Amino acid sequence: MDGTTAVVTGASRGIGKAVAAALADAGAQVIVCARDTDELEAAVGAISDRNGEVTPFRADVRDEFDVERLMETAAEIGGEIDAVVANAGVYHGDAGQTPLTEESYAAFDDHLRTNARGAFATLRESLPHLADDARLIVSSGSIARDTYPGYGSYAVSKAAAEAVARGFSEDTDYVVGVVDPGQVETELTGGTGHAPADVAPQFCWALDEAPAEAVDGEVINRKVWRQAES
Give the active site residues. 142, 154, 158
Query: Of 56, 183, 64, 39, which Cα lies nearest the Cα of 114?
Result: 64
Contact 52, 23 (CB under 8 A): yes
